[in-house]
């Protein structure tokens, strides 16, 4: 039996089954691989000061998994600030596993990435180092420099000097990067990364979970007494940048419609949006569901007739990839999106697109969907085909496997040659 290709993946959210299932399926589909996920033993999932998912900030305890060729190993996580973290246990695990491929999923200049490069050079210098960055153009380190003479400008220059050595180290030692959408690819090029870059998102959807389901549709519509109303729906945090204020302002003044507003936020966000609903006298039309569990989302997307996702970009944020968009599309729903970040790329030419903050256009497109329900269904069917072929984890796994083998081809050719020599000598 030929030796298996050892693949190690690192991410702070691998405690969550919703996220590690992708890689479990990946390993099961390819018995020639040995896949290990390194995940923190516990992780604080979201902060109630920003927004809430569930009961506002949840500590997730990890668990180790050992299957034939799929493993989860827990490590201690040391947080510095924001998303910057490292683990004192990485060295132990890399030393034991000696992977052929290291795949870091997170910020491209995170300390965990820097640490893993250093450890790999020490214990498995021939391993290919890959990275996935949850980034958009605003992450460009060079773009962080504020011109002029001010405190903000001074801080930006200090920040640039802090991040630049990391960027140079990463650009030199990482063999390939993966990103969400074309603008993110260009951001890597602008920062000087000259090696291969692949547009392959990390956060696709499971087509075994998300698909049209008439039973689920009836369950949720009965639960909220939606009747035969045309139902709009969104699922996102309640921060201003997600465009919920624009949606409330754009909701039609007439017609048989309802709006399922899924998600939650902090006290200020909740109060702002609730007041906006009251100001338009829409209390009976807008339904705030609260947080909806990942595994329940498929039911809710089936209950609606048109999805809405109209984020607004800010100076330090842009929509890099919306899981809600692909989940809604997978459920066969048409979608109206804004031109923020990755949204145009996700919905493609079939979806309805508006300029960020264009309330008038949003209203017009919502009214059109209501008055053309059959055409809306046809759009939803086309979007479902697009997302299954582009963003399902099953498709992404096939794509990543082919890409990974291509990146690793030269090294594996040498390994197989050595293996043939060894086995021949044993004979």
- Kindly list the averaged pLDDT for each block of 10 residues, start to end, along the chain of length 427: 88 87 96 96 60 54 92 92 86 96 92 96 96 74 66 69 87 95 88 93 92 97 97 95 97 96 91 97 95 90 98 85 95 97 94 96 98 97 96 96 85 48 49
Q: Closest Cα to residue 338, out of 230, 213, 211, 241?
A: 241
Supply the pLDDT for residue 424: 53
Supply the pLDDT for residue 144: 63
CATH 3.20.20.70, applies to 5-204+392-426: no
Residue 229 and residue 306 in contact, taking contact as beta carbons nearer than 8 Å: no
Backbone angles phi, psi at 261, to 5 degrees: -100, 95
Supply the pLDDT for residue 222: 98
Answer whether 0.85 is exceeded by the pTM.
Answer: yes
Supply the pLDDT for residue 123: 97
Q: Closest Cα to residue 333, out of 397, 367, 384?
A: 384
Taking each helix axis from N to C terminus, what angle separates 393-426 and 373-391, rounded to the nearest 10 degrees? 20
Evaluate whether 5-204+392-426 and 214-390 have a shared fold. Answer: yes
Supply the pLDDT for residue 163: 79
Q: Closest Cα to residue 304, out of 277, 328, 336?
A: 328
Residues 136 and 154: their CA atoms lie apart, in Å, by 24
CATH 2.102.10.10, applies to 214-390: no
Supply the pLDDT for residue 55: 47
In the block, tokens 């030199």 appear at 172
Domain ranges of the chain: 5-204+392-426, 214-390
Supply the pLDDT for residue 147: 66
Helix/strand/coil percentages in the chain, nearest 5: 45, 20, 35
Residues 289 and 300: their CA atoms lie apart, in Å, by 10
Residue 301 and residue 328 in contact, taking contact as beta carbons nearer than 8 Å: yes
Taking each helix axis from N to C terminus, what angle separates 17-29 and 393-426, rounded to the nearest 10 degrees? 40
Helices (H), 305-392: 323-330, 343-347, 359-371, 373-391
| Helix/strand/coil for 130 | strand
């Amino acid at each position: 039996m030929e030796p298996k290709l050892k693949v190690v993946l690192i991410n702070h959210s691998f405690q969550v089954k919703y996220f590690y299932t992708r890689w479990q399926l990946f390993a099961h589909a390819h018995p020639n691989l040995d896949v290990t996920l390194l995940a923190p033993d516990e992780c604080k999932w979201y902060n109630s000061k920003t927004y809430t998912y569930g009961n506002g900030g949840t500590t997730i305890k990890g668990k180790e998994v050992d299957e034939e060729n799929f493993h989860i190993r827990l490590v201690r996580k040391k947080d510095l600030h924001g998303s910057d973290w490292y683990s004192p246990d990485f060295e132990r695990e890399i030393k034991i596993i000696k992977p052929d491929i290291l795949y870091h999923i997170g910020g491209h200049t995170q300390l965990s990435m820097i640490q893993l490069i250093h450890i790999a050079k020490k214990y498995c210098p021939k391993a290919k180092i890959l990275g996935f960055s949850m980034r958009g153009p605003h992450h460009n380190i060079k773009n962080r420099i504020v011109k002029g003479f001010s405190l903000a400008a001074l801080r930006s220059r200090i920040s640039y000097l802090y991040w630049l050595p990391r960027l140079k180290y990463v650009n030199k030692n990482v063999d390939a990067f993966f990103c969400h959408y074309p603008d993110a690819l260009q951001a890597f090029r602008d920062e000087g990364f000259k090696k291969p870059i692949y547009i392959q998102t990390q956060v696709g959807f499971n087509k075994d979970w998300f698909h049209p389901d008439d039973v689920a549709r009836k369950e949720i519509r009965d639960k909220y007494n939606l009747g035969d109303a045309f139902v709009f729906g969104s699922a996102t945090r309640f921060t201003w940048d997600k465009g919920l204020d624009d949606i409330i302002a754009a909701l039609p003044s007439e017609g048989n419609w309802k709006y399922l507003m899924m998600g939650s936020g902090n006290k200020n966000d909740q109060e702002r949006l609730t007041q906006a609903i009251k100001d338009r006298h829409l209390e009976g039309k807008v339904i705030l569901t609260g947080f909806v569990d990942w595994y329940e989302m498929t039911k809710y997307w089936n209950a609606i007739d048109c999805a809405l996702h109209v984020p607004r970009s800010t100076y330090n944020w842009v929509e890099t990839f919306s899981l809600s968009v692909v989940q809604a599309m997978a459920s066969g729903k048409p979608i109206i999106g804004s031109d923020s970040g990755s949204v145009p790329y996700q919905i493609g030419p079939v979806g309805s697109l508006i300029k960020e903050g264009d309330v008038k256009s949003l209203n017009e497109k919502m009214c059109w969907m209501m008055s053309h329900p059959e055409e809306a269904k046809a759009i939803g069917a086309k979007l479902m085909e697009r997302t299954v072929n582009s963003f399902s984890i099953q498709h992404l796994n096939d794509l990543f496997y082919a890409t990974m083998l291509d990146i690793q081809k030269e090294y594996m050719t040498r390994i197989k040659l050595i293996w043939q020599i060894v086995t021949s000598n044993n004979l």
